[in-house]
A and B are shown apart, each in its own frame.
Chain A
Amino acid sequence: MDLSLVLNTFTLLTLTTLSTPIIFPLLSDSLKNTPSTITNTVKASFLISLIPMTIHIHSGSESLITLWEWKFIMTFKIPISLKLDFYSLTFLPIALFVSWSILQFATWYMASDPHATKFFTYLLLFLIAMLTLIVANNLFVLFIGWEGVGVMSFLLISWWHGRAEANTAALQAILYNRVGDVGLILCLAWLAYTTNTWEIQQLNSPHQTPTLPLLGLILAATGKSAQFGLHPWLPAAMEGPTPVSALLHSSTMVVAGIFLLIRTHPLLSSNQTAMTTCLCLGALSTLFAATCALTQNDIKKIIAFSTSSQLGLMMVTIGLNLPQLAFLHISTHAFFKAMLFLCSGSIIHNLNGEQDIRKMGGLQKMLPTTTSCLTIGNLALMGTPFLAGFYSKDQIIECLNTSYLNSWALILTLLATSFTAVYTIRMTVLVQTGFTRIPPLTPMNENNPAITSPITRLALGSIMAGLLITSYITPTKTPPMTMPLSIKITALVITILGIIIALELSKLTQTLILTKQTPLYNFSTSLGYFNLLTHRLTTKTLLTGGQNIASHLVDLSWYKLLGPEGLANLQLTTTKTITTLHSGLIKAYLSSFALSLLIILMSAH
Chain B
Amino acid sequence: FTTSLLLGTTMTISSNHWIMAWAGLEINTLAILPMISKSHHPRAIEAATKYFLTQATASALLLFSSMINAWQTGQWDITQLTNPTSCLILTSAIAMKLGLVPFHFWFPEVLQGAPLTTGLLLSTLMKFPPITLLYMTSPSLNPTVLTFMAILSTALGGWMGLNQTQIRKILAFSSISHLGWMTIIISYNPKLTLLNFYLYALMTTATFLTLNSTKASKLSTLMTTWTKAPALNAALLLTLLSLAGLPPLTGFLPKWLIIQELTKQDMA
- Interface residues, chain A, CB within 8 Å of chain B? 571-572, 574-576, 578-579, 582, 584, 586, 588-590, 592-593, 596-597, 600-601, 604
Selected A-B contacts with CB under 8 Å, 16 pairs: A571-B162, A575-B159, A575-B160, A578-B156, A578-B159, A579-B160, A582-B105, A586-B53, A589-B106, A590-B53, A593-B57, A593-B96, A596-B102, A596-B103, A601-B85, A604-B85
Partner of B163 from the list A575, A590, A604 (CB cut-off 8 Å) is A575
Q: Please name the residue on chain A nearest to B102 by beta carbon.
A: A596
Tell whether, in the assembled complex, residue A584 and residue B159 are in contact, meaning their CB atoms are under 8 Å apart. no
Tell whether, in the assembled complex, residue B92 and residue A574 are in contact, meaning their CB atoms are under 8 Å apart. no
Distance in Å from the Cβ of A443 to the closest Cβ of chain B? Answer: 90
Once the chains are docked, how many angstroms separate the CA of A579 from the CA of B105?
A: 11
Once the chains are docked, how many angstroms separate the CA of A392 from the CA of B47?
A: 110
Tell whether, in the assembled complex, residue B159 and residue A589 are in contact, meaning their CB atoms are under 8 Å apart. no
Tell whether, in the assembled complex, residue B159 and residue A601 are in contact, meaning their CB atoms are under 8 Å apart. no
Given contact pairs A590-B54, A597-B92, a sample of 13 additional A-B residue pairs in the complex whose CB atoms are under 8 Å apart: A572-B162, A575-B160, A578-B156, A579-B163, A586-B49, A589-B54, A593-B54, A593-B103, A596-B103, A597-B61, A601-B89, A604-B84, A604-B142
Contact with A along B204-234 (1 / 0, CB 8 A): 0000000000000000000000000000000
Distance in Å from the Cβ of B93 to the closest Cβ of chain A? Answer: 9
Distance in Å from the Cβ of A175 to the closest Cβ of chain B? Answer: 53
Distance in Å from the Cβ of B118 to the closest Cβ of chain A? Answer: 19
Please give, as numbers and ranges, the residues of chain A lying within 8 Å of B145 by CB-CB distance: 600, 604
Tell whether, in the assembled complex, residue B163 and residue A584 are in contact, meaning their CB atoms are under 8 Å apart. no
In chain B between 150 and 178, which residues have their CB closer than 8 angstroms to a CB of chain A? 156, 159-160, 162-163
Q: Please name the residue on chain B nearest to A597 by beta carbon.
A: B92
Once the chains are docked, how many angstroms separate the CA of A589 from the CA of B51?
A: 12
Tell whether, in the assembled complex, residue B50 and residue A586 are in contact, meaning their CB atoms are under 8 Å apart. yes
Residue among A574, A578, A593, A601 with the highest chain B CB neighbour number at 10 A: A593
Tell whether, in the assembled complex, residue A596 and residue B54 are in contact, meaning their CB atoms are under 8 Å apart. no
Please give, as numbers and ranges, the residues of chain B lying within 8 Å of A575 by CB-CB distance: 159-160, 162-163
Once the chains are docked, how many angstroms separate the CA of A604 from the CA of B102?
A: 16
Please give, as numbers and ranges, the residues of chain B lying within 8 Å of A592 by CB-CB distance: 102, 105
Please give, as numbers and ranges, the residues of chain B lying within 8 Å of A571 by CB-CB distance: 159, 162
Once the chains are docked, how many angstroms separate the CA of A344 from the CA of B256?
A: 86
Partner of A582 from the list B49, B89, B160, B162 (CB cut-off 8 Å) is B160
Tell whether, in the assembled complex, residue B50 and residue A601 are in contact, meaning their CB atoms are under 8 Å apart. no
Q: What is the interface of chain B mostly: helix, strand, loop, or mixed?
A: helix
Distance in Å from the Cβ of B159 to the closest Cβ of chain A? Answer: 5
Distance in Å from the Cβ of B232 to the closest Cβ of chain A? Answer: 30
Once the chains are docked, how many angstroms separate the CA of A246 from the CA of B4?
A: 112
Contact with A along B86-123 (1 / 0, CB 8 A): 00110110001000001101101100000000000000
Q: Please name the residue on chain A nearest to B108 by beta carbon.
A: A582
Distance in Å from the Cβ of B30 to the closest Cβ of chain A? Answer: 19
Once the chains are docked, how many angstroms separate the CA of A586 from the CA of B46?
A: 10
Tell whether, in the assembled complex, residue B142 and residue A589 are in contact, meaning their CB atoms are under 8 Å apart. no
Once the chains are docked, how many angstroms separate the CA of A592 from the CA of B96?
A: 11
Q: With A604-B84, A604-B142 known to touch, is A589 a contact of B105 (CB < 8 Å)? A: yes
In chain B between 172 and 191, which residues have their CB closer than 8 angstroms to a CB of chain A? none
Please give, as numbers and ranges, the residues of chain A lying within 8 Å of B61 by CB-CB distance: 597
Partner of B102 from the list A572, A574, A586, A593 (CB cut-off 8 Å) is A593
Distance in Å from the Cβ of B85 to the closest Cβ of chain A? Answer: 7
Distance in Å from the Cβ of B187 to the closest Cβ of chain A? Answer: 15
Please give, as numbers and ranges, the residues of chain A lying within 8 Å of B57 by CB-CB distance: 590, 593
Q: Please name the residue on chain A nearest to B156 by beta carbon.
A: A578
Once the chains are docked, how many angstroms separate the CA of A588 from the CA of B61?
A: 19
Distance in Å from the Cβ of A116 to the closest Cβ of chain B? Answer: 75
Once the chains are docked, how many angstroms separate the CA of A604 from the CA of B160?
A: 29
Distance in Å from the Cβ of B15 to the closest Cβ of chain A? Answer: 24
Q: With A586-B49, A586-B106, A589-B106 known to touch, is A596 a contact of B92 (CB < 8 Å)? A: yes
Tell whether, in the assembled complex, residue B159 and residue A574 are in contact, meaning their CB atoms are under 8 Å apart. yes
Contact with A along B38-53 (1 / 0, CB 8 A): 0000000000011001
Distance in Å from the Cβ of A599 to the closest Cβ of chain B? Answer: 9
Distance in Å from the Cβ of B67 to the closest Cβ of chain A? Answer: 16
Once the chains are docked, how many angstroms separate the CA of A258 from the CA of B209?
A: 89
Residue among B84, B91, B163 with the highest chain A CB neighbour number at 10 A: B163
Once the chains are docked, how many angstroms separate the CA of A140 from the CA of B21?
A: 95
In chain B between 70 and 94, which residues have their CB closer than 8 angstroms to a CB of chain A? 84-85, 88-89, 91-92
Please give, as numbers and ranges, the residues of chain B lying within 8 Å of A588 by CB-CB distance: 105
Tell whether, in the assembled complex, residue A600 and residue B103 are in contact, meaning their CB atoms are under 8 Å apart. no
Q: With A578-B160, A592-B105 known to touch, is A604 a contact of B54 (CB < 8 Å)? A: no
Distance in Å from the Cβ of B86 to the closest Cβ of chain A? Answer: 11
Please give, as numbers and ranges, the residues of chain B lying within 8 Å of A596 by CB-CB distance: 92, 102-103
Please give, as numbers and ranges, the residues of chain A lying within 8 Å of B88 by CB-CB distance: 600-601, 604
Please give, as numbers and ranges, the residues of chain A lying within 8 Å of B84 by CB-CB distance: 604
Residue among B53, B54, B92, B96 with the highest chain A CB neighbour number at 10 A: B92
Once the chains are docked, how many angstroms separate the CA of A83 from the CA of B88?
A: 98
Q: Please name the residue on chain B nearest to A574 by beta carbon.
A: B159
Once the chains are docked, how many angstroms separate the CA of A288 from the CA of B40?
A: 100
Distance in Å from the Cβ of B162 to the closest Cβ of chain A? Answer: 5
Once the chains are docked, how many angstroms separate the CA of A593 from the CA of B163?
A: 23
Please give, as numbers and ranges, the residues of chain A lying within 8 Å of B162 by CB-CB distance: 571-572, 575
Please give, as numbers and ranges, the residues of chain A lying within 8 Å of B85 by CB-CB distance: 601, 604
Please give, as numbers and ranges, the residues of chain A lying within 8 Å of B109 by CB-CB distance: 584
